[in-house]
């Protein structure tokens, strides 16, 4: 395909192993085993190819990326290439020694997710006793190392009432940024949707509180906001468009336009062992399947929003309508919209939600 822009960032999923068991984890239901993870040299080659393709940033993620002993070496390689490195971490094992090593390797930014503002709920959601206290201590160490810190507040029906405390907590921890992100219902999140989804009224209140906090904390804390778009009139601009700005590499080396793309069964995604990133980004049929606007259904073709939301999320269209080429069914123009709303409202209205189905770490 001609006229394809280079990617901005690579999400490098170094491993699917993680000590936490979050029931909304964005990892696929079928995770890569430790034995299938790419080795250090292959990851370095991949980082070099990403830079040559035009990427500016690498987000080291997982699973829990600090479980890889070569993380420092990979950050160092990314730094030598001129890539901006971000670490997305559960942080329960982010020791002082590890932070020292990563900072010396050139790490620029750390992102720590919090499942609540106090131990009871945070530890229950993450499925790990003591997670909250360890995360809070790790966040303090990140600041002590003078690294930029973002807190990620993952919002669901169990912690939605804690939002005002999340603002206070992020400011007290001297985070630069707080990402208030409602759970996205793919993979494990979709499996646990009935246990997690808040009501529409709770989401509206979250939106109001975020707007207020942006004023209250102006100049102190940048607040990003990701809604659970089942309740929205328009879909989110998922990944800023399919294969447009971002791509993802799994622990075993599969190259994807987003972390949930494997849920679209008719697409075969290539691996870094089969082709170069340049070839994959520009020419792979799965990358070109929903790129741009030509593939869009008629309603989107004639819509002013088509280059703003890029018809929303392909994985959500697949999960909720059975066809990834449909417009995102959360759009008010979709014939599936009422169905999606009914589903969300019925699940959210349950007085007692079902138990979590925890994600377990692969071996």
Give residues in contact with ligand SF4 (CB under 6 A).
18, 20-22, 25, 27, 62-64, 90, 113, 234-235, 299-300, 303, 305-306, 309, 311-312, 327-328, 331, 333, 359
Nearer to ligand SF4, 62 or 198 (CB): 62
> DSSP for 49-98?
HHHHHT--EEEEESS-GGGSTTHHHHHHHHHHHT-EEEEEE--TT--HHH
- H helix count then E strand count, the chain: 15, 9
Integer CA distances (angstroms), 205 to 156, 295, 343, in order? 13, 36, 20
Burial of 127 (0-12, 13-18, 19+ CB in 10 A): middle
Nearer to ligand SF4, 61 or 76 (CB): 61
Nearer to ligand SF4, 81 or 181 (CB): 181
Which residues have a Cβ under 8 Å from the Cβ of 284 and sit 6 or more positions away? 255, 269, 270, 275
- Tell the smallest beta-carbon distance from residue 95 to ligand SF4 (Å): 17
Query: d(Cα 153, Cα 239) in Å, to the nearest integer?
Result: 19
- Tell the smallest beta-carbon distance from residue 331 to ligand SF4 (Å): 3
In terms of DSSP bridges, do strands 246-249 and 9-13 run parallel, antiparallel, or are they unpaired? parallel
What 3-state class would DSSP assign to 225?
strand
- Tell the smallest beta-carbon distance from residue 10 to ligand SF4 (Å): 17
CB 242 within 8 A of CB 290: yes
CB 155 within 8 A of CB 182: yes
Nearer to ligand SF4, 271 or 305 (CB): 305
- Tell the smallest beta-carbon distance from residue 212 to ligand SF4 (Å): 27
Nearer to ligand SF4, 76 or 156 (CB): 156
Nearer to ligand SF4, 23 or 198 (CB): 23
- Tell the smallest beta-carbon distance from residue 359 to ligand SF4 (Å): 5
- Tell the smallest beta-carbon distance from residue 79 to ligand SF4 (Å): 24
> DSSP for 95-143?
-HHHHHHHHHHT--EEEEEES-SSHHHHHHHHT-TTHHHHHHHHHHHHH
- Tell the smallest beta-carbon distance from residue 299 to ligand SF4 (Å): 5
Nearer to ligand SF4, 90 or 280 (CB): 90
**H/E element holding 308?**
helix 306-309
Query: d(Cα 251, Cα 281) in Å, to the nearest integer?
Result: 18
- Tell the smallest beta-carbon distance from residue 307 to ligand SF4 (Å): 8
The CA-CA-CA angle for residues 82, 85, 89, to 5°, reads: 170
Nearer to ligand SF4, 66 or 202 (CB): 66
Nearer to ligand SF4, 176 or 306 (CB): 306
- Tell the smallest beta-carbon distance from residue 254 to ligand SF4 (Å): 17
Backbone phi, psi, residue 336, to 5°: -95, -5
């Amino acid at each position: 395909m001609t006229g394809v822009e280079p990617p901005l960032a690579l999400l490098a999923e170094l491993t699917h192993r993680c000590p936490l068991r979050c029931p909304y984890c964005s990892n696929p239901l079928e995770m890569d085993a430790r034995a299938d993870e790419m080795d250090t040299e292959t990851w370095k080659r991949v980082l070099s190819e990403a830079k040559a393709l035009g990427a500016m940033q690498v987000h080291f993620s997982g699973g829990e990326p600090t479980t890889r002993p070569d993380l420092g070496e990979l950050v160092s390689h990314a730094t030598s290439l001129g890539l901006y490195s971000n670490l997305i971490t559960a942080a329960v094992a982010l020791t002082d020694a590890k932070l020292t090593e990563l900072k010396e390797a050139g790490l620029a930014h750390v992102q720590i997710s919090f499942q609540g503002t106090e131990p009871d709920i945070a530890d229950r959601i993450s499925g790990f006793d003591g997670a909250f206290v360890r995360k809070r201590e790790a966040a303090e160490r990140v600041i002590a190392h003078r690294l930029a810190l973002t807190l990620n507040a993952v919002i669901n029906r169990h912690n939605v009432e804690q939002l005002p405390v999340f603002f206070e907590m992020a400011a007290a921890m001297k985070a630069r940024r707080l990402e208030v992100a409602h759970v996205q219902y793919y993979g494990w999140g979709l499996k646990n949707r009935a246990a997690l989804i808040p009501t529409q009224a709770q989401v509206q209140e979250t939106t109001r509180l975020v707007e207020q906090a942006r004023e209250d904390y102006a100049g102190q804390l940048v607040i990003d906001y990701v809604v659970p778009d089942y309740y929205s009139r328009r879909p989110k601009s998922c990944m800023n468009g399919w294969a447009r700005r971002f791509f993802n590499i799994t622990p075993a080396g599969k190259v994807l336009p987003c972390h949930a793309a494997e849920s679209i069964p008719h697409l075969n995604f290539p691996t870094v062992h089969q082709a170069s990133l340049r070839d994959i980004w520009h020419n792979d049929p799965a990358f070109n399947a929903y790129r741009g606007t030509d593939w869009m259904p008629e309603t989107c073709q004639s819509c002013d929003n088509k280059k703003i939301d890029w018809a929303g999320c392909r994985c959500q269209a697949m999960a909720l309508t059975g066809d990834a080429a449909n417009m995102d069914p959360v759009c008010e123009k979709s014939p599936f919209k009422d169905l999606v709303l009914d589903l969300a409202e019925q699940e959210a209205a349950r007085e007692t939600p079902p138990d979590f189905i925890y994600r377990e770490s692969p071996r």
